[in-house]
Structure 1
């Protein structure tokens, strides 16, 4: 796609009528549309998704919506960072054509009573084992976003790997006619995956946090060298515990189906981890 200069001001749609009017202009010009769904509090990882979207489509729409259906009552919905003005400014600099920023009255109006209950990779015993509400909320809001924006392409980060597989399956199973693109995780220089939740880490916790990626890389190297997967993962969990993490899971799974694997012969392998450091829950993954 041709490189376009950043727009001086990126329009923000807050209602379906305004969104439809903007999309109609794109479609009338025969332009393709890429969607980058986000919950805001944007960092360079999100902007990497935007850059990829700009390479793949004529127009880029970024949605910003903190989806309450993804949060359990004990999670951080009320404190999740919200900074729409700063996010829109960053997206304008990145050349985004439209920001879709609905409120909850638009996304879940009175009487809303339809929810999607995904299976397959959504029931892999990873995030779903600890956040059983999560992927139903993701699938429902993503299906709504796809219906609202009707993108040709949707871009997601690989950091939320199980989510990427759930969304890919959702689009295929429901014939949503959108191509899902996964973009490799953006990391800090010390390996920590960039995340909006990194802001919750204390200075001391931030120093220890890169151990999560170091353990993943070490486990991947040992498994690739032929070491027994079960023993490698058990050792990795112990290392994380010594570093102060409370481990929810450190697992080796088939990279496409997320089914458990026992050896390299079981197919392409992805390592996935979730662990708490203090009050902050971090997730990451790495290919073997």
Structure 2
């Protein structure tokens, strides 16, 4: 695996691949890698000749400085995981490398996707996400970029940015990887105790309840029952639970057979903020 820390080194290396018309896949991460991240790499390999994984804890997408400070950074472990997974290239830039101008301004019209759910709870978050992802897209110029379904709203935001910027990149939405009990794998899970991990399973159970009842009960009734179920669960501090149409993420009141729907949930367990979702049809 080749490791590059500067944009110039990475661009020089990838230029040869482009001349040889090799397909490039990008897997952007913030590190603290787990089996979910490796599944993105495995998904990308048959679709590309070169896999590029980036590890960069992007400061512009954190609206809480304490959250940025607490974000885990087990770099040696991450490198070992990527080597075992046979990643071709790791891009490991500094903040100064990605943001040479500390006063850089960025804003993109996200058609309201950055004002609801995660956008409402974390103002400015998706502007920061699109800022760094656009930088990575411009730098790597991938044919395909792989993202995990766990960050469903983030993927919809990036899809929208690709349309606005007219980028020739295909987005792969890769399935959520869960542990044997159903807990969605997340870098934040390492901050949970064993008891906290057990309590967090209430999110998965509630999503399963919604999916199992999606076509048999009215949506407003499912929403009420699912919310009550979560609020009664030990150790769960619910932030939001919603059943939405997938592309706009507007809350659904009825089911249209021609549309797809997703259940979104965010809650705190032991003051660790967890997100999860499930595609319903």
Deviation at 1:180, TM superposition (A): 0.7
CA-to-partner distance for each residue in 1:159-200, whole Å, 9 max, x for gaps? 000001000111111011111110010011111100000111
Deviation at 1:74, TM superposition (A): 4.8
Return the alpha-carbon distance in structure 1 between the equivalents of residues 247 and 202 of structure 2: 26
Return the alpha-carbon distance in structure 2 between the equivalents of residues 60 and 52 of structure 1: 10
Deviation at 1:124, TM superposition (A): 5.3
Is residue 76 of structure 2 the alignment partner of residue 85 of structure 1? yes
Q: CA RMSD in A?
A: 1.4
Q: Which residue of the other structure, out of 210, 214, 231, is the alignment partner of 1:241?
A: 231
Segments of 5+ residues of structure 1 without an aligned counterpart are 1-9
TM-score calculated relative to the size of structure 2:
0.95
Q: Which residue of 2 aligns with 1:146?
A: 137
Return the alpha-carbon distance in structure 2 between the equivalents of residues 25 and 86 of structure 1: 29
Kindly tell me: are residues 146 and 120 of structure 1, through their superposed partners in 2, closer, same or farther at Cα, counting changes over 3 Å? same
Aligned length: 278
Segments of 5+ residues of structure 2 without an aligned counterpart are none
Return the alpha-carbon distance in structure 2 between the equivalents of residues 22 and 112 of structure 1: 29
* Contact 1:41 1:83 (8 Å CA) reproduced: yes
Runs of 4+ with >4 A deviation: none
Q: Which residue of 1 aligns with 2:106?
A: 115
Kindly tell me: are residues 35 and 111 of structure 1, through their superposed partners in 2, closer, same or farther at Cα, counting changes over 3 Å? same
CA-to-partner distance for each residue in 1:93-134, whole Å, 9 max, x for gaps? 111111011100011113542313342262352101100111
Alignment of 1:7-18 (within 5 A): 10-18=1-9
Q: Which residue of 1 aligns with 2:264?
A: 272
Return the alpha-carbon distance in structure 1 between the equivalents of residues 19 and 51 of structure 2: 15
Q: Which residue of the other structure, out of 229, 232, 237, is the alignment partner of 2:219?
A: 229
Q: Which residue of the other structure, out of 246, 263, 281, is the alignment partner of 1:255?
A: 246
Q: Which residue of 2 aligns with 1:37?
A: 28
Deviation at 1:73, TM superposition (A): 3.0
Kindly tell me: are residues 245 and 171 of structure 1, through their superposed partners in 2, closer, same or farther at Cα, counting changes over 3 Å? same
Is residue 44 of structure 2 the alignment partner of residue 53 of structure 1? yes
Kindly tell me: are residues 111 and 268 of structure 1, through their superposed partners in 2, closer, same or farther at Cα, counting changes over 3 Å? closer
Alignment of 1:180-199 (within 5 A): 180-199=171-190
Kindly tell me: are residues 42 and 132 of structure 1, through their superposed partners in 2, closer, same or farther at Cα, counting changes over 3 Å? same
Kindly tell me: are residues 269 and 190 of structure 1, through their superposed partners in 2, closer, same or farther at Cα, counting changes over 3 Å? same
* Contact 2:27 2:40 (8 Å CA) reproduced: yes
Kindly tell me: are residues 114 and 74 of structure 1, through their superposed partners in 2, closer, same or farther at Cα, counting changes over 3 Å? closer
Q: Which residue of the other structure, out of 197, 201, 205, is the alignment partner of 2:196?
A: 205
Kindly tell me: are residues 257 and 203 of structure 1, through their superposed partners in 2, closer, same or farther at Cα, counting changes over 3 Å? same
Kindly tell me: are residues 136 and 271 of structure 1, through their superposed partners in 2, closer, same or farther at Cα, counting changes over 3 Å? same
TM-score calculated relative to the size of structure 1:
0.93
| Residue aligned with 1:262, SS | coil
